[in-house]
């Protein structure tokens, strides 16, 4: 699963495909609407090779220039139906 920020959601690994992720909302509490289109960005390519500088070099340069970085929130999905799962 691609890592993300700014979004909270619930994950049910036992649900049917297409029904595992629910309760999606932005950090400010605004719920996502299934029929609405959203603009998103990513930091990694889904292709084997991407054009340009590798993103980890870009991020490293940025972090070095900031000296200190403070995260407002770490988004961790709420897992459901995992009780007794030895893989968790």
Domain-wise residue ranges, the chain: 1-34+72-88
pLDDT in tens, 64-88: 999 888 888 888 889 999 998 887 7
pLDDT digits (tens, 9 = 90+) for 17-50: 999 999 999 999 999 998 999 888 776 667 777 7
Q: Which residue has the tokens 């940025």?
A: 62
- Is the distance from CB of 3 to CB of 9 less than 8 angstroms? no
Sign of the Cα torsion 30, 34, 39, 45 reads positive
Residue 80: CB atoms within 10 A of its CB come to 15
Global pTM value: 0.66
| pLDDT-derived band at 2, boundaries 50, 70, 90 | low
The enclosing H or E element of 64 equals helix 55-66
Cβ atoms of 75 and 23 closer than 8 Å: no
């Amino acid at each position: 699963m691609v890592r993300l920020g700014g979004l909270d959601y619930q994950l049910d690994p036992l649900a049917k495909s297409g029904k595992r992720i629910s309760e999606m909302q932005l950090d400010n509490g605004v719920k996502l609407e299934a029929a609405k289109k959203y603009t998103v960005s990513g930091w990694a390519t889904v292709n084997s090779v991407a054009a340009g500088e590798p993103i980890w070099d870009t991020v490293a340069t940025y972090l070095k220039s900031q000296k200190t970085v403070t995260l407002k929130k770490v988004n961790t999905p709420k897992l459901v139906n995992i009780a007794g799962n030895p893989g968790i």
